[in-house]
Chain A
Amino acid sequence: MPANADLAQAHASARVQGDSLLVELGGVWKITIDRPSWIKIVGRAEPKRVKIVLVNLENWDSSLLLFLFEAQKWCVAAKVTLDASELPPKLRDLLRQIVAAQGKDEPVDRSENPISLIGLAVFDVWAKVKQISNFVGECTLASVRLAKNPVRFRWRDCLSEMQQCGAMALPIVGLIGFLVGLTLAYTAAVLLREFGADIYVANFVGLVMVREMGPMMTGIILAGRTGAAFAATLGNMKAGEEIDAFETFGIRSIDFLVLPRLVAVTLMTPLLALYANMLGIVGGLFVAAGLLAIPPTAYWVQMQTSVDMSDLISGVIKSITFGGIIGLSGCLRGLQSERSAIGVGRSTTSAVVTAILLLVVADAIYAVIFNMLGI
């Protein structure tokens, strides 16, 4: 089957001989190009017998086979005898195979009873709750082991992860923080200017960044960046049986893979949140100085009147929790990943969605607690 041959096109012709139809096939039949249509060749003829012969057939593949199969089906439907005796044995054998291959497949029934679906969903939720509980429990025990014997901890992996999720995230966290501060200041300026209270832009930006937006935006960025990376890495390791290899050596994958990541992201998130706070306040300063003509010193002094250490600490506490949530979600979904490319993709998506959902829930809980404590 030459790849580049200058080939004569497939051709088929039919002529009536008494009550028979003689069909002559020739040329080159290639599956990638159009072939003659059986129906057009037969036309309105109503033979009692169809005989197929090959004339100057140069080269053929499944294209000819499909044509013969079409002829065979037509003959069966019209109750006409098909004489394929002059075809080469190889072609006859293939024709027999394609006829035999049809209709063997019974569609796989993938439908489910709605009631059983509900039951399965309940079992699924219960299994997931158990998995999460086990995972959190194992991580807690691993943390206790770490506290008891810090020498055995994978510090090198932890530092590498800290660099990945901390230092490498500085540009994106900084940019987002700055833009959020800028946006907050613009929004506040529109409202406050009407009351002649321009200077309170500093209070608004400072308080919102330090208590809410700094930790939350950092958390969301890290959920998409670090949480997804954790899930993808661990998912790939699971697919490649690396995690099984840890288990069969008796090495706890939680100690070896999860804890360094968890510690790294939990330590780095508050630092990044503080960095985002700082750049958010600077973003507000730009708007205050540029749009509202507030001197930078006045902005800074005014901000300090409403932002105190308790606000800063509440933001840091939140971001530590957010870091833990991101690390746990990423590692859990990675370890739960199915052993396939699709499974890894799903676990990555799931890690991000789970982390963001839990961040918002945790933020709401903290809002209530801090309110009750008067912080």
Chain B
Amino acid sequence: MVENLECGYDDRVLLQHVSFAVKPGEIFFVIGGSGCGKSTLLKHMIGLHRPTAGTIRYFGESFTDAALGRRREMLRTFGVLYQNSALWSSLTLRENITLPLEEYTPLTKHERNELAALRLAQVNLSGYEDYYPSEISGGMKKRAALARALALDPAIVFFDEPSAGLDPVTSRKLDDLVLEIRETLGTTMVIVSHELDSIFSIADRVIMLEREAKGIIAEGNPRELLQSNQDPRVQEFLQRRAVLPATEA
């Protein structure tokens, strides 16, 4: 849950009075045009930046006010899929997944490898355990990064522009994977994206950010927003068209 969040860089306020809640097991999208602060909001939610005001709570506990040690513990309940996958290039896919398990669990090496095999199978990458990130395609990297994000059985997985750099078919497959993982593991998904196909395919609920408003201008199911929201900025975004000035007859 985000309450009255205000954030920005240096003296520039990017977002203010941002409040919303994500329900457990929900696929929740943060949408909006370029530069509206989507990724900034995500970086604050995963603790990479500290907000200038407001609170972020997970399961009722404040993340922003938590002591450093507690914040680290809370971070273990998150998985993050970064825009550029951010797989560790010097490690194989198996090692990318087993590294967090090695750090935070009492599992044996054999068990860690078993779990890595499962995670890779869940993202349809069975047989690629010994490959390095440089040896696989962009779409495969995204899936491998998702497998890594799921390594510690996170309660929430955050996605930063998961479709960036992917072709429509691969992007659609990633959407299907997100749905499948939510179905199997019950994981909550928070996705930052402006890909309309993904938004209408898998989002349960969205919030839309807007640069001028410096905050949320719409919240709800994307289809319902498309049908009933009267805000031209929302319609412009969801209908993928420019709002043209009225012309005289």
Q: Contact partner of B107 among A31, A90, A97, CB < 8 A?
A: A31
Tell whether B130 is near chain A: CB-to-CB under 8 Å: yes
Which chain B residues (147-194) contact chain A, with CB distance < 8 Å?
A: 152-153, 155, 184, 186
User: In the assembled complex, how far is the CB of residue A83 from the closest CB belonging to chain B, in whole angstroms?
Assistant: 22
A1–B105 Cα distance when bound, in Å, is 17
A148–B90 Cα distance when bound, in Å, is 46
User: In the assembled complex, how far is the CB of residue A14 from the closest CB belonging to chain B, in whole angstroms?
Assistant: 21
Whether A3 contacts B61 by the Cβ 8 Å rule is yes
User: In the assembled complex, how far is the CB of residue A64 from the closest CB belonging to chain B, in whole angstroms?
Assistant: 10
Which one, B4-12, B30-38, B71-79, B214-222, is touching chain A?
Answer: B71-79
Among residues of B, the one whose C-beta sits closest to the C-beta of A102 is B117
Whether A98 contacts B118 by the Cβ 8 Å rule is yes
- B131 surroundings in chain A (CB, below 8 A): 108
Whether B153 contacts A1 by the Cβ 8 Å rule is yes
- A30 surroundings in chain B (CB, below 8 A): 153
- B104 surroundings in chain A (CB, below 8 A): 32
> Total interface residues on A, using CB and 8 Å?
32
User: In the assembled complex, how far is the CB of residue A165 from the closest CB belonging to chain B, in whole angstroms?
Assistant: 30
Contact bitstring A86-118, B, C-beta under 8 A = 1, else 0: 000010011001101110111110000000000
A5–B59 Cα distance when bound, in Å, is 9
Whether B107 contacts A1 by the Cβ 8 Å rule is no
Whether A3 contacts B59 by the Cβ 8 Å rule is yes
Among residues of B, the one whose C-beta sits closest to the C-beta of A73 is B114
Among residues of A, the one whose C-beta sits closest to the C-beta of B88 is A341
Tell whether A6 is near chain B: CB-to-CB under 8 Å: no
A30–B154 Cα distance when bound, in Å, is 11
Whether B77 contacts A104 by the Cβ 8 Å rule is no
Which chain B residues (95-140) contact chain A, with CB distance < 8 Å?
A: 101, 104-107, 111, 114-115, 117-118, 120-122, 126-131, 134
Tell whether A34 is near chain B: CB-to-CB under 8 Å: yes
Whether A341 contacts B89 by the Cβ 8 Å rule is yes
Whether A104 contacts B114 by the Cβ 8 Å rule is no
User: In the assembled complex, how far is the CB of residue A39 from the closest CB belonging to chain B, in whole angstroms?
Assistant: 13
Interface of A is mostly: loop
- A31 surroundings in chain B (CB, below 8 A): 101, 105, 107, 152-153
- B77 surroundings in chain A (CB, below 8 A): 1, 3
- B120 surroundings in chain A (CB, below 8 A): 101
- A368 surroundings in chain B (CB, below 8 A): none
- A32 surroundings in chain B (CB, below 8 A): 76, 104-106, 152
Whether B118 contacts A340 by the Cβ 8 Å rule is no
Tell whether A196 is near chain B: CB-to-CB under 8 Å: no
- A90 surroundings in chain B (CB, below 8 A): 184, 186
Whether B106 contacts A1 by the Cβ 8 Å rule is no
Tell whether B58 is near chain A: CB-to-CB under 8 Å: yes
Whether A93 contacts B153 by the Cβ 8 Å rule is no
- B118 surroundings in chain A (CB, below 8 A): 62, 65, 94, 97-98, 101
A1–B73 Cα distance when bound, in Å, is 13
Contact bitstring A1-12, B, C-beta under 8 A = 1, else 0: 111110000000
Whether B58 contacts A101 by the Cβ 8 Å rule is no
Whether A340 contacts B184 by the Cβ 8 Å rule is no
Which chain A residues (160-215) contact chain B, with CB distance < 8 Å?
A: none
A355–B121 Cα distance when bound, in Å, is 47
A101–B134 Cα distance when bound, in Å, is 23
Whether B114 contacts A102 by the Cβ 8 Å rule is yes
- A97 surroundings in chain B (CB, below 8 A): 118, 121-122
A2-B59, A31-B152, A93-B184 known; A342-B89 Cβ under 8 A: yes
Tell whether A61 is near chain B: CB-to-CB under 8 Å: yes
- A2 surroundings in chain B (CB, below 8 A): 59, 155
A3-B155, A105-B126 known; A342-B121 Cβ under 8 A: no
User: In the assembled complex, how far is the CB of residue B17 from the closest CB belonging to chain A, in whole angstroms?
Assistant: 26
Among residues of A, the one whose C-beta sits closest to the C-beta of B120 is A101
A133–B148 Cα distance when bound, in Å, is 44
A2–B89 Cα distance when bound, in Å, is 32
A3-B58, A105-B117, A341-B89 known; A94-B184 Cβ under 8 A: yes
Among residues of B, the one whose C-beta sits closest to the C-beta of A341 is B89
- B107 surroundings in chain A (CB, below 8 A): 31, 66
Tell whether A33 is near chain B: CB-to-CB under 8 Å: yes
Whether B106 contacts A33 by the Cβ 8 Å rule is yes
Q: Contact partner of A66 among B90, B115, B121, B152, CB < 8 A?
A: B115
A33–B127 Cα distance when bound, in Å, is 29
A3-B73, A31-B152, A66-B114 known; A108-B130 Cβ under 8 A: yes
A93–B152 Cα distance when bound, in Å, is 19
Whether A66 contacts B111 by the Cβ 8 Å rule is yes
Among residues of B, the one whose C-beta sits closest to the C-beta of A345 is B90
Among residues of B, the one whose C-beta sits closest to the C-beta of A62 is B153
- B73 surroundings in chain A (CB, below 8 A): 3-4
Can you name 20 extra interface pairs (CB under 8 A) apart from A3-B61, A98-B121? Answer: A3-B59, A5-B59, A31-B105, A31-B107, A31-B153, A32-B76, A32-B104, A62-B118, A62-B153, A66-B111, A94-B118, A97-B118, A97-B121, A101-B120, A101-B122, A105-B94, A105-B130, A107-B130, A108-B131, A341-B89
B interface residues (Cβ-Cβ under 8 A, vs A) = 58-59, 61, 73-74, 76-77, 89-90, 94, 101, 104-107, 111, 114-115, 117-118, 120-122, 126-131, 134, 152-153, 155, 184, 186
A interface residues (Cβ-Cβ under 8 A, vs B) = 1-5, 30-34, 61-63, 65-66, 69, 90, 93-94, 97-98, 100-102, 104-108, 340-342
Question: 12 pairs across A/B with beta carbons < 8 Å?
Answer: A33-B106, A66-B111, A97-B122, A98-B115, A98-B121, A101-B126, A104-B121, A105-B130, A107-B130, A341-B89, A342-B89, A342-B90
